[in-house]
Structure 1
Amino acid sequence: MTFRLLLILIVSLFTTFANAQDLQSVLQDNRDAVEKASRKTIDAVLEALAEQNLPGTPVLLEQWREKELWQRKEDGLFFYTETDDKKTYRLIDITSGDPVGEADKKALKQLKPNSGVRSVIASALVQFQLIDPDPSRRNAALRSIERDPDASQLAPLKASIDAEENAAIKTRKIELERLLTARFEEDLTLRIAAIEELAQSLSVEARAALTPIIATKRIATATPPQGNIARELRPGSAKLTEDDAYDLLIAADLAPAYVTRAARDAALKANITNGQVAGIAVYTLNSEAARDRAYASLALSGAVPPRVTEEGRAAALDDHFFYDIYAEPSADVTDAAEAAITAIKTRVGLNKTFDLALDGLSLASIYFLAAIGLAITFGVMGVINMAHGEFIMMGAYTGYIVQQFIPNYTVSILVALPLAFAVTFAAGVLMERSIIRHLYHRPLETLLATFGISIALQQLAKNIFGTQARPLTSPAWLDGAWVLNDVVSISYIRIAIFVLGLIFFTLLLFILKRTRLGLEVRAVTQNPRMAASMGINPDRINMLTFGLGSGIAGIAGVAIGLYAKVTSEMGADYIVQSFMTVVVGGVGNIWGTLLGAAMIGNLQKGIEFLNPSNTLAAQTYMIIFIIIFIQFRPKGIIALKGRAAGD
């Protein structure tokens, strides 16, 4: 008994070793198919490699696909090669990867599979790469599946999921498995379940996987439609014109093609015999009607195809059926896919609305920062400062200069913000003391004077910094965007600007409501004469207010410069929106400025969304809307009480 068991063991081991092969043996067994690879012969080689599942198979397929597989002519063995001079090649064993000798190029033959064969090899390579020990190769396989999904990839992808140890790669495999299952799974129950899962996704990949399932083909037939019909069509309806319907009949050989005038005349010329066409003298064919009669005579004799008449075309359309048919034969699958796509579109629409609201909020925070200084200045002093945009520009250039001395972008921004405030505060005080205070209660002269200052500051910036845009680089932690899903995202820079706007909103509320300066500012705003009688110096308050408004504009310039171009004209891009924000919100009111910025920011983004191809038109519509709004709310959303209200 023991001897018998020993004999069986020896036989089984012998059989195992006899059946064991290396890569060279597999290729030699399929030598003809490898040497003359084609789409018809390549499958046998790939099946043999898959059956053996040898360790070097992925590398072999990669080298073969990239035309790096060589054959020695004298014995037909296959090798990888290395060369320094393109004449003598080092031969690399395809099984061990070790050098095994050298050969002259003339003694070798390079295998060059065509594009079709390379495509098949690439598809087969995926199943080996999915279980490769190297994570980069597994990721490469997943990218290959994403680019060109195929039914043959589903089984190896499923089989590789449980053994996957990398969490990120495993997540990608599961997502891809759901996508492939939805498209290629033979079990309809599993397929429909996968489709219903995709209905909860917003990814582009999910939509791309579902779209082919509901793809349709427009068909014309002489018999009632059969199969998974998407819709029946009636010629002459909005979805199918009579011309398109008849073209379908022609393409399906169900109706004669149109015969054009040129084709008719060519047929008449080809059938001239003894000066006649179908018994009609050629010289009488001097009109369209005569030529039509001659062609009809030829058609009756069978010499040419008959021309299509309106009556014949109408009869052909009435006698045939037209419909769109799904490429997918299962109605349950297409119904599930249609429902999933409808659900996805609804969720995408809601997320786009949310994304649009985020964009509007982001733009509103920028407008608020740009306008809050102007709102304070205008509300307290009644001064229309056309140079307010240039203070924004001065702040942005201050940030640029700071970054020339402090290369650390985080530190440079932290230094630039207070420095920009100080620079523009000082410039604002200087402007108020030297020019503005002499023009109080003279709005036209103030407007013209500040407009002239605006032009002068722009030219000064051009002389110093030139006309080219200067970079104001954001810190690395502000790069990229906060991505909620495939639809909703917002850049970190805009989030930072929004936070900065909230900080200044809170700070200004604190100053105006909780400090002596704020109390004096509110007193001068409401009644300057009464404030003066109470010991408050309106002239000093005007100076500090103008400086504060200018300083905030400088900080806004640093923030805006992080994502917009820094040029001498950048202030002009925001001065109009700043004035609109102040007027719509209510002059001199912080809450009004906040509401005005929110209204204008969301309105502009909404109009741009409805008219994305024409930004100028979108801005025009916004201005028209604001003009109409002011007709009904001339004092803005929150009307100011006191002197400014009376003015």
Structure 2
Amino acid sequence: MRRLVRLWLGFVLMVFAGAAASVAQDTGAPIQMLLQEHREIIVKSSRKTIGPAINALAESGLEDAQVVLNRWQNKDMWVDKETGLFVFAERGDGDDLRTFDVAGGKEIGTASRRAYKQLKPNSGIRGLIAAALVQFQLTDPERATRVTALRAIERDAEPSHLTALRGAIDAETDSGLKARKMRLERLLTIRFDEDETARIQAIESFSGDLGVDVRAALNPLVATRIEVAEAAPDDAEALVIGAELSRDAAYAILVQRELAQPRILAGAVRETLIANLENGAVAGIEVAMLDTDAARLNAYEMLVRDGRAAPFVSDDDITTALDAVQFYRVYINAPVAVALAAQAALDRIELQVTLNQGADLALDALSLASIYFLAAIGLAITFGVMGVINMAHGEFIMMGAYTGYVVQLFVPDYTLSILLAIPLAFFVTFSAGVAMERLVIRWLYHRPLETLLATFGVSIALQQLAKNIFGTQARPLTAPGWLDGSLVINDIVSISYIRIAIFVMALLFLALFLFVMKRTRLGLEVRAVTQNPRMAASMGINPDKINMLTFGFGSGIAGIAGVAIGLYAKVTSEMGSDYIVQSFMTVVVGGVGNIWGTLLGATLVGSLQKVIEWLNPSNTLAAQTYMILFIILFIQFRPRGIIALRGRAAEA
């Protein structure tokens, strides 16, 4: 008995506490009154009917509205089953709840969980609440919150966001975010505003804008559908049969709209005859008599007269059906004026896109040309000045790249490692070039076939040596962090910082080469040996020593080129073979032994390859083939290249 009494008293106290908690609320608070106005649909929580309640909270201007939406979205809002009042609640001990007033969030007290019903919005309702919260986030004091809100609108915009954006522009203090809000407001105006004039003005403000978001907003506005009627509306674009719409397509539209009979195909005639075969005859004609097309057509026409087959549609019938109607194009997503403005803007944008695609292609060609120039500048020295066909030139590029990789193993600072790798790669490949000239090349001067075979053998040996040391997998040559990313000019034109660095390096080496050849004693002696080796020897110049240094200098530059190329391409034992053919083409097209010719040759070869790849992007092998064919034809008309050299190289 005592136990029953204690349980009863506990129950009474619990009910009293719940009632006291309910009474403690500010039931006259505006936010509570607003919730009570929409209590029925809020408690029901149906995505189809909840919209007015969410919109009322978002547009109320009440300070507590944002908190209510947030807590509702997080399933922290409950409703008193007895009084119908809304509270915030947190789970306490056991079945207890700690309740808080929706007006101000003041704690009410502890109550039984049984006295309340939790609001559990589904994902659809939470999405609607999130959209409503955007307008509060757009004016939040925290910049990060405003940025998040803008990203949410850009990702999934809704008509309600337009009003929120317009109200948040003037209060924005960050100039960058303000410009971003204004741009987004114009985009949403194009999509959602009901005022045609406002939409047209917003469209015209984006004239020539290359942003992908602009085209994404305009393209749906110009979507069309072909309609057919006895007479086209005055504001519709009439279509001419045979010009803008084929005769067959026009008749197919009539058939689809059930305005004309479908055409009977040969297969359908046969199937119809088979379907009407009775006692060895079709329409009273023996099957044995249906051995010609004319007989079969005659039987089919008899079936048509009996109503057992669809009638034939002749060309005259098609002409009559098409002449009786007009086909016209209608815009399906926007009024005509808005759609025409969007089409005009897209036409202007398309022109800008074409021009910028040309600029982007030119940048790509210039970037590739700088890579080919770096790869070929050393070959221009050894092949042009000395007349040596060095098939191992690509392996000197590979050695330079691997030198950069080894340096980075010991120097983790990528910027410092690249600065150290450049002179070290020059030293390594210069030494290798001198050794190769002393051991192999010096015995094969003026014997081009033997030189080609010998250097080809050296290239194979160097490749195998690299495989034995570094393995067959590609090794990373990592660029410094400040070379990550790209220089973005607009949504179409961009170029990576690594390619810019390679272009700058190519210019630096052009300047270095010109300085060495024009301003140093070595350059003077090289030019003398190039022009007339016998006369140079009589002046006290040692041609043998000059050949050695020249070959070493060209090999050293190839090593530096390898460091630069390694930042852009994979470092493997075969990487040199990817550039040897282009290097020879660059030197031959430009003019053997002339640095300016090499520069022009690299520009021509790089540009030609990029243009061919642009015309045929799905087949890079075809691009290489077409490029080689063009070079062969070019050499037929100008065998000495763009800028021919006088002297020993020209006579070789």
User: What TM-score does the superposition give when structure 1 sets the normalisation length?
Assistant: 0.86
Give the equivalent residue in structure 2 for 1:576: 581
Aligned twin of 1:226 = 233
- Partner residue in 1 for 2:414: 409
Counterpart residue number, 1:421: 426
Q: Could you tell me how far apart the structure 2 residues matched to 1:97 and 1:268 are?
A: 83
1:539 paired to 2:544: yes
Matches within 5 A, 1:332-347: 332-347=337-352
How much does 1:437 deviate? 0.6
Q: CA deviation at 1:180?
A: 2.2
Relative to structure 1, is the Cα distance of residues 314 and 594 closer, same or farther in structure 2, using a 3 angstrom cutoff?
Answer: same
- Matched residues in 1 for 2:622 and 2:289: separation? 57
Say whether residues 1:26 and 2:4 are aligned partners.
no
Q: Which structure 2 residues correspond to residues 577-616 of structure 1 after superposition, within 5 A?
A: 577-616=582-621
* Partner deviation per Cα, 1:354-377 (whole Å, 9 max, x = no partner): 111111111111111110001001
Counterpart for residue 49 of structure 2: 41
Which amino acid is 2:240 matched to?
A: R
Greater Cα offset, 140-149 or 428-437: 140-149
2:437 is equivalent to residue 432 of structure 1: yes
What's 1:199 paired with?
207
Q: CA deviation at 1:114?
A: 6.0
- Please, which moves more after superposition, 35-44 or 631-640? 35-44
SS of the aligned residue for 1:52 comes to: coil
Report if the CA contact (8 A) 1:586-1:592 is conserved.
Answer: yes
1:58–1:129 contact (8 Å) kept in structure 2: no
CA distance in 1, matches of 2:583, 2:71: 63
Aligned CA distance change for structure 1 residues 544 and 105 (closer, same or farther; 3 Å): farther
What pairs up with 1:134-533 in 2 under 5 angstroms? Answer: 134-221=142-229, 223-226=230-233, 228-229=235-236, 231-237=237-243, 239-256=244-261, 289=297, 292-293=300-301, 295-297=303-305, 299=307, 310-327=315-332, 330-533=335-538
CA contact (8 A) 1:470 1:567 kept: yes
Q: Is the CA contact (8 Å cut-off) linking 2:82 and 2:115 kept in structure 1? A: no
Following TM superposition, by how much is the alpha carbon of 1:268 offset from its aligned partner in structure 2, in angstroms?
9.8
Q: Give the whole-Å Cα distance in 2 for the aligned partners of 1:582 and 1:251.
A: 64
Distance 2:342 2:336 in 1: 10
Indicate the SS of the match to 1:612: coil
> Measured at CA, do residues 263 and 368 of structure 1 come closer, stay the same or move farther in structure 2, by a change above 3 Å?
closer
Partner of 1:627: 632
Between 596-605 and 147-156, report the one with greater CA deviation. 147-156
Gap change, CA 1:637 and 1:248, over 3 Å in 2:
same
Q: Distance in 1 between matches of 2:438 and 2:253?
A: 82
Displacement of 1:47 after TM fit? Answer: 3.2
Q: What per-residue deviation string (whole Å, max 9, x for no partner) do you get for residues 411-465 of structure 1? A: 0111111111111111111111111111111111110010011011111111111
CA contact (8 A) 1:584 1:626 kept: yes
How far apart, CA to CA, are the structure 1 residues paired with 2:587 and 2:76?
70
The answer to which of 544-553 and 194-203 deviates more is: 194-203
C-alpha separation between the residues in 2 aligned to 1:42 and 1:566? 61
- In the superposition, relative to structure 1, how do residues 358 and 87 fare at CA in structure 2: closer, same or farther (>3 Å)? farther
Inter-CA distance 51–447: structure 2 relative to 1 (3 Å threshold): closer
Of 54-63 and 476-485, the range deviating more from structure 2: 54-63
Distance 1:480 1:80, change over 3 A: farther
Unaligned runs of 5+ in 2: 1-25, 291-295
Aligned residues of 2:396 and 2:558 also touching (Cα < 8 A): yes
Aligned amino acid, residue 21 of structure 1: P
Q: 1:70 to 1:415 in 2, by over 3 A?
A: farther
CA contact (8 A) 1:383 1:440 kept: yes
Deviation at 1:351, TM superposition (A): 1.3
| Contiguous gaps of at least 5 residues in structure 1 | 1-16
Give yes or no for contact 2:609–2:624 (8 Å, CA) kept in 1: yes
What does the per-residue CA deviation read over 1:596-630, in whole Å, with 9 as the maximum and x for residues that have no partner? 11111111111111111111111111111111111
Which one is further off, 281-290 or 239-248? 281-290
Asked if the contact 2:80/2:116 (under 8 Å) is kept, the reply is yes
Q: Is the 8 A contact 2:283 2:299 kept in 1?
A: no
Paired with 2:306 and 2:44, the residues of 1 have a C-alpha distance of 55
For 1:70 and 1:293, the matched residues in 2 are separated by 77
Shift of residue 261 of structure 1? 8.8
Q: Is the contact made by 1:228 and 1:328 (CA closer than 8 Å) also made in structure 2?
A: no
- Contact kept in structure 1, 2:72 and 2:119, CA below 8 Å: no
1:565 to 554, 562, 570: 570
Q: 1:91·1:103 contact (CA, 8 Å) conserved in 2? A: no
Whole-Å separation in 2 of the counterparts to 1:266 and 1:32: 63
Change (3 A) 1:513 1:294: same
- Superposition RMSD in Å: 3.5
Q: Provide, for residues 562-620 of structure 1, a one-character-per-residue CA deviation record: whole Å limited to 9, x for no partner.
A: 11100000000000000001101111111111111111111111111111111111111
Mapped partners of 2:96, 2:318: distance in 1: 73
Is the partner of 2:406 in helix, strand or coil?
helix
8 Å Cα contact 1:86-1:105 kept in structure 2:
no
Once residues 227 and 88 of structure 1 are traced to their aligned partners in structure 2, the CA distance between those partners, rounded to angstroms, is 71
Which moves more between the two structures, 308-317 or 485-494?
A: 308-317
CA contact (8 A) 2:96 2:110 kept: no
CA contact (8 A) 1:57 1:128 kept: no
AA aligned opposite 2:642: I
Tell me the distance in 1 between the aligned counterparts of 2:111 and 2:328.
66
Q: Which 10-residue stretch deviates more, 98-107 or 584-593?
A: 98-107
Contact 1:395 1:420 in 2 (8 A): yes
- AA aligned opposite 2:575: M
Could you tell me which residue of structure 2 aligns to residue 7 of structure 1?
Answer: none
Task: Check conservation: 1:268, 1:294, Cα contact below 8 A.
Answer: no
Q: Quickly say closer, same or farther: Cα 1:392–1:194, change in 2 above 3 A.
A: same
Does residue 113 of structure 1 match 2:122? Answer: yes
When normalised by structure 2's length, the TM-score is 0.86
Where 2:228 maps in the other structure, the secondary structure is strand
CA distance in 1, matches of 2:114, 2:261: 62
Residue 118 of structure 1: how far off its partner (Å): 5.1
**Whole-Å Cα distance in 2 between the matches of residues 68 and 264 of structure 1?**
71
Sequence identity percentage: 59
1:189, 1:356 → 2: CA distance? 38
1:376, 1:549 within 8 Å by CA — same for their partners in 2?
yes
How many aligned positions are there? 619
Aligned partners of 2:481, 2:440: CA distance in 1, in Å? Answer: 42
- The answer as to whether partners of 2:42 and 2:53 remain within 8 angstroms in 1 is yes
Classify the secondary structure of the residue corresponding to 2:30.
coil
Shift of 1:89: 7.9
